Structure 1
Amino acid sequence: MWINKDAFAKAGLDPEAPLATWDDVIKAARVIKAKNAADIPVMTSWPTWSQFEQFAAIHNVEYATLNDGFGGPKPQLKIGSAPFVKQLDMFLSMQKEGLFSYQGRDGKPSPIFYAGKAAITFDSSSIYGQLVTSAAFKFAAAPLPYHQDIIKSPINSIIGGAAFWAMTAPGRTPAEYKAAASFFKFISQPENDSAWAEKTGYVPVTVAGNQMIESQGFYAKNPGSDVAVKQLTRTQPTPLSRGIRLGGMPEVRVIIEEEWEKAIQNGTPAATAMETAQSRGQAVINRFAQTLKA
């Protein structure tokens, strides 16, 4: 969760006061709206990832059977269950009240926050580098909020972000594989891992890299820059908080976003939207499972 500290100050809110729960977020959003402290009190980037996948992890809620897909290729989606309906219904209610504004899929909404037009947004830790170079306002990172009636204390979030993949193909030479291995070795060296994380906001992917960031005093000099690391590591992962593995997962994400948009634009009830997303998403997973039998 990213906070525009200037908007909070304009609203007379303490930007350092924690917004631990969704109730806290909603209360702050109402003040921000009443004081006209920002064009948009609350928004989100990456809706499916931040508001359903991460939501499921920190609340220890089942996203799909078979340990969220890690136990086999044909899990059953559970996104039509009560916790997910509650989450979407909350956003629909916030939208009607003028507290939340849906601004699109994936990272499309991010520039709106960069421009200082939103008081609170949900986005990747990797926008840190962009904010440092372009934001004309004070900002801060905070842990994702949680619902107290679902979990008493939130557990670890799950990793996201960009990834490098070494793809094979006919005719690859031993020299090419050696070069790929050298590159991965290079980027995983502590000095490179730490430098990348410090500049971009992406979390370091090695323990040594994180230790170097700490020893250099970066976290101490940049309060809040370690929020993502702390959130990822604050508890031992459970079978429902170590990640999600679904065949056709990118398509499933799009389906959820489509149903979210229909709910906002057409007034589709949250329960109907999530049931439809579950049914459509399950069809994608089933088709993927069939390809494994071929």
Structure 2
Amino acid sequence: MRSAARTYLGCVAVWNGFIVKSAFRFVTLAAMIALVAASPAYAVTDIMWWHAMSGQLGRQLEKLATDFNATQSEFRIVPSYKGNYTETVTAAIFAFRSRGQPAIVQVNEIATATMMAAKGATYPVFELMRDEAEAFSPTAYLPAVTGYYTDMAGNMLSFPFNASTPILYYNKDLFRAAGLDPEMAPRTWPEVGAAAKRLRAAGAACGLTTAWPSWVHIENFLAFHNLPIATKANGLGGLDAVLTLNNPLTVRNIAQLAQWQTTKVFDYSGRATAAEPRFQNGECAIFIGSSATRADIRVNSKFEIGYGMLPYWPDVEGAPQNTIIGGATLWVLRDRPRYEYKGVARFFAFLSKPEVQAAWHQNTGYLPITRAAFDLTRAQGFYDRNPGAAISIEQMTLKPPTENSKGLRLGSFVLIRDVIEDELEQAFSGKKSAQAALDSAVERGNRLLRQFERANPDR
């Protein structure tokens, strides 16, 4: 829809012509001016928001738009589902080329470097909020969330929206049957291994399984032990970063999982969320997956669920550190009518309100992006009524993030993650040693990084 400014100018042109042609009609100039001045008040500016959320999450997203729209009459946020993250970003890129792009697009966190490389196509959020004079303080947002989406100077490039982190879930019923304390989540990798062996001996088909192999066992594993996945502050410091994930600690951990795989103390279930049903149906007693699946696990599991933080190796100095996020962020695209950006800035200010963030967090399982929303949720008694719901926030804020635990920004990381998971599968199946698999992941991943660097020489 036309912006209110354009509508105003159009109305002025129309009314000026009317005045010339109707000079002898009994209409006063004062009445004309009043009518012209009133016209923009009735013009509602539509702001397109392309997203990748379906089902219940999509309905919660649409509710955010509806609630914002009800607070004012100048702008209307119009959500539009475009498929999964890759499909949504691809659609936005093609739309930009034909000048039909939305003002807002939801982009998954590992595509941050790709969005930054789209020179001139994005409108950094810190600039948007400054230009539109909307209250905006980066210190109000959780550092472990915003760190993923800021530049080296701490400026927020996109708006954190749906953020999650991996946590540990366990089957309390199976813990009881194995003689384990159902109120005590295993904290370290040796404790996880010991518990999983007891569970297998007691008849569990699988001791431990995990979702999102690279996200859990490489990206968050390294952050939680304050180790880099790559040089240049995990890529935040430049496109010439080099992968370093084949360090001795990661090799040790993958080798341990591969050894456990032989007796199903650990049992690899596949990529993405393939492992979730195995925990929900009681097959695997311990599961590491996204904090955002907590609601689904509660609905679909017929046993009492326990929650814990991501395991760590206790002999690593400084561990545990803090985990990093998954999920997505909202990017603002350029070359939309100027007036739309005022509405986008107001919408982001609305999304930052503690009561809005608290409701989003409670209804979806995603992290609140501000400390105020976390404090409000706690004050409302949500965490008392929902044990385990606060673990993700506690884990993310365990310590101030470092260069190693702030996040990562590596070009073509969607492809690199596939490479990493391909090599992890080689290790888990016994076809390669952990060292050989991780060395190969680094070699193949670095080739992709150099390709991305050559394709973006100006960054």
TM range, smaller chain:
over 0.9
Equivalent residue number for residue 370 of structure 2: 206
* Secondary structure of the corresponding residue to residue 200 of structure 2: helix
Equivalent residue number for residue 292 of structure 2: 126
Q: 1:22 aligns with which of 171, 189, 192?
A: 189
Q: 1:275 aligns with which of 433, 436, 439?
A: 439
Residue 135 of structure 1 deviates from its aligned partner by: 1.9
1:84 aligned to 2:274?
no
Change (3 A) 1:25 1:266: closer
Equivalent residue number for residue 261 of structure 2: 95
Match runs of 1:187-198 below 5 Å: 187-198=351-362
Where does structure 2 lack aligned partners over 5 or more consecutive residues? 1-167
Contact 2:171 2:304 in 1 (8 A): yes
* Secondary structure of the corresponding residue to residue 43 of structure 1: strand
Measured on the aligned residues, the alpha-carbon RMSD in Å equals: 1.7
- TM-score normalised by the chain length of structure 2: 0.61
Residue 24 of structure 1 deviates from its aligned partner by: 0.3
How many Å separate the matches in 1 of 2:315 and 2:302?
A: 37
Q: 1:210-263 CA distances to partner (integer Å, 9 max, x unpaired)? A: 111011011122222111111111111121111111111111111000011122
**AA at the equivalent of 1:110:** E
Contact 1:61 1:83 in 2 (8 A): no
How many Å separate the matches in 2 of 1:176 and 1:136?
A: 48
Residue 157 of structure 1 deviates from its aligned partner by: 1.2
Where does structure 1 lack aligned partners over 5 or more consecutive residues? none
Equivalent residue number for residue 391 of structure 2: 227
Change (3 A) 1:112 1:179: farther
Equivalent residue number for residue 159 of structure 1: 325
Which of the pair has more CA radius of gyration? Answer: 2
**AA at the equivalent of 2:178:** A
Structure 1 stretches of at least 4 aligned residues deviating more than 6 Å after TM superposition: none
How many Å separate the matches in 1 of 2:331 and 2:402?
A: 27
- TM-score normalised by the chain length of structure 1: 0.93
Residue 176 of structure 1 deviates from its aligned partner by: 4.3
Q: Which has the higher contact order (CA 8 A, sep 6+)?
A: 1
* Secondary structure of the corresponding residue to residue 328 of structure 2: coil
How many Å separate the matches in 2 of 1:254 and 1:30?
A: 30
Match runs of 1:55-66 below 5 Å: 55-66=221-232
Q: 1:93-126 CA distances to partner (integer Å, 9 max, x unpaired)? A: 1101220111111122222222232211111100
How many Å separate the matches in 2 of 1:63 and 1:263?
A: 19
Change (3 A) 1:167 1:133: farther
How many Å separate the matches in 2 of 1:182 and 1:152?
A: 41
**AA at the equivalent of 2:443:** S
Residue 30 of structure 1 deviates from its aligned partner by: 0.5
How many Å separate the matches in 2 of 1:112 and 1:173?
A: 49
Q: 2:408 aligns with which of 240, 244, 263?
A: 244
1:184 aligned to 2:327?
no
Contact 1:42 1:120 in 2 (8 A): yes
Contact 1:41 1:99 in 2 (8 A): yes
Q: 1:43-89 CA distances to partner (integer Å, 9 max, x unpaired)? A: 00011011111111111112111111111111111012211111210
How many Å separate the matches in 2 of 1:44 and 1:225?
A: 19
Contact 2:213 2:421 in 1 (8 A): yes
**AA at the equivalent of 1:135:** S
How many Å separate the matches in 2 of 1:203 and 1:224?
A: 13
Q: Percent identity?
A: 36
Contact 1:19 1:145 in 2 (8 A): yes
How many Å separate the matches in 2 of 1:173 and 1:132?
A: 45
Q: Which has the higher strand share?
A: 2
Number of equivalences: 291
Residue 265 of structure 1 deviates from its aligned partner by: 2.9
